[in-house]
Structure 1
C-alpha cells in the first residue's frame, strides 16, 4: 500500500476499500483466516462484552454491523451463542462482503448474512421474521471504525463530510429502546455525543467502554473511545 493510499480523501472512498479488500481476499485464499484485520482484538472483545451485558443472547436480538469488513465482530457474537439468523453485516465494498463470506464459511457460519449496501443511501436487507414494512427493526447497531472512515470522505460544497448524514441514517434503523454502539479512533466521546444526540435521532447517552489510557504533556487520553447510545421509546 503506497503512502498516497493513506490520504484522508482516499481512506473515505469506495475505490480505496475495494483495492484493500481485493488484497485481503488474495491473502485469505492463500494463507487462510488470521483473525481481525482492521481493528484491534482487544477493542472487539470489549465491544462483545458490552453487547453480552446489555443485549444478551437470551433476548435473541437482531444485530447489524455497519461496515463489517471481514466480519470478525459479528462472527465473534456468533461464538457467544447469538442466533446466526439474527446477525448481519453490511459494507459498501463488494470485496469486503466477499471476504466476510469466505471467513464465515471457514468458520461454518454461512447462515450469518453479509450484504453489499451503501449505508448512507440504502437500507440493509431485512432478515427473516422482520416486519418488511418497517425500517426501525434492529435491536443493536454496531460500528467499529466506519464512521471514522466516512468522516474522511470528500466534503460537499457546504464543507460537510458525508458523515453528516450518518446519525439520522443510523437512528432510522434502530427500534425504539434499541442501542447503537460505536468505537472511534478519530472522535472523542464528547464529540460523538454532540454528533449523535439530538431530537431528530432520538438518541440519548447510555454508557461507555473503558479503554487503556495514556498520558502525554500532562493530559490523559485513550487511543480510541467506545460510546453506547439508546434510542428513545
Structure 2
C-alpha cells in the first residue's frame, strides 16, 4: 500500500494508544490475553529469523525496539536465544509498558527492559552493559508498525510532520555497522528506501524480508514490507 496522501488519524494520537493498551492491560489481568500481535505471528517469526542470520545473539549486543507495545517481538527474540539484558523496548504509552512488563513477569522474562519513552523527543535509556561508539549505542533497532503510526500524526505548529525527523534520529543512534529493520503496512519497500536512504542519514540498503504477494485489479503486492538498512562501518 502506498503512503501517498496519508492523512492524520486517531491512530497517530497518544490518546488512542493509551486507550488501546489500558484495555489490553485490563484483559491480560482478567483473562491472561496478551493482546494483538501486529502483522501476525508469521511476521514475528520472519523478523526473528532475519535477526538470527544477520545479528546473531552474543553477550555484548544492544537491541532496541521502538514502539514495543506488548513486547511480542522482544519475547520472541528471547525465546530464540538473545539474552534478556541485551533487549530494550520503548513505547510512549505507559499502558503499553505496564502490559509488556506484566507479560514479562508471567513469562519469567523480567530481565528484558521496558521503558516509557517518546522516541521523537527523548533519548532511549542505555542498557547496563552498552558500549557506545561516537555516542551511538545500538547494534540493532527494530520498528514494527511505529513508523506507520507516526506517519498519521498531526503536523506541528510550523507545518512539520513528526515523521520527517525519524530517519535521522534512527541513524544517529545506530553504531557503525549496525542495522535498522523496519516493518510497515503503509509504506512500500521503495518508499521506505526513499525515506531512510538519504545523504543525511547515510544509511544503505541491506536486505528485505519476502512476504506472500496478492494480486487484485491487475496489481500485485504484499500486505506489509520489511526492509533492513545498515549504517556503514567507520573507515
Q: What band does the TM-score fall into relative to the shorter chain? A: over 0.9
Measured against aligned partners, the alpha-carbon deviations of 1:66-106 in whole angstroms (never above 9, x if no partner) come to 00000000110000110100100000001100000011111
Output the CA distance in 2 between the equivalents of 1:31 and 1:177.
Answer: 43
Output the CA distance in 2 between the equivalents of 1:157 and 1:189.
Answer: 30
Root mean square deviation of aligned Cα = 1.7
Shift of 1:148: 0.1
Which residue number corresponds to residue 93 of structure 2?
Answer: 93
Output the CA distance in 1 between the equivalents of 2:16 and 2:35.
Answer: 21
Output the CA distance in 1 between the equivalents of 2:185 and 2:123.
Answer: 26
The answer to whether 1:192 aligns with 2:189 is: no
Which residue number corresponds to residue 39 of structure 1?
Answer: 39
Which residue number corresponds to residue 13 of structure 1?
Answer: 13
Which residue number corresponds to residue 82 of structure 1?
Answer: 82
* Structure 2 unaligned blocks of 5 or more: 1-6
Higher relative contact order (CA 8 A, sep 6+): 2
Output the CA distance in 2 between the equivalents of 1:110 and 1:23.
Answer: 22
- Preserved contact between residue 126 and residue 132 of structure 1 (Cα < 8 Å): no
Which residue number corresponds to residue 22 of structure 1?
Answer: 22
TM-score (norm 2): 0.91
Shift of 1:137: 1.0
SS at the partner of 1:172? helix
Output the CA distance in 2 between the equivalents of 1:226 and 1:21.
Answer: 24
Output the CA distance in 2 between the equivalents of 1:143 and 1:131.
Answer: 22
Shift of 1:36: 4.5
Shift of 1:157: 5.1
Output the CA distance in 2 between the equivalents of 1:34 and 1:200.
Answer: 39
Shift of 1:51: 0.4
Output the CA distance in 1 between the equivalents of 2:33 and 2:134.
Answer: 36
Question: How many pairs were matched up?
Answer: 227
| Range moving further from structure 2, 109-118 or 128-137 | 128-137
* Structure 1 unaligned blocks of 5 or more: 1-6
Change (3 A) 1:204 1:150: same
- Preserved contact between residue 36 and residue 72 of structure 1 (Cα < 8 Å): no
Which residue number corresponds to residue 4 of structure 2?
Answer: none
Change (3 A) 1:134 1:108: farther
Shift of 1:118: 0.3
Which residue number corresponds to residue 170 of structure 1?
Answer: 170
Change (3 A) 1:147 1:41: same
Output the CA distance in 1 between the equivalents of 2:99 and 2:58.
Answer: 29
Output the CA distance in 1 between the equivalents of 2:204 and 2:74.
Answer: 24
SS at the partner of 1:178? strand
Shift of 1:62: 1.0
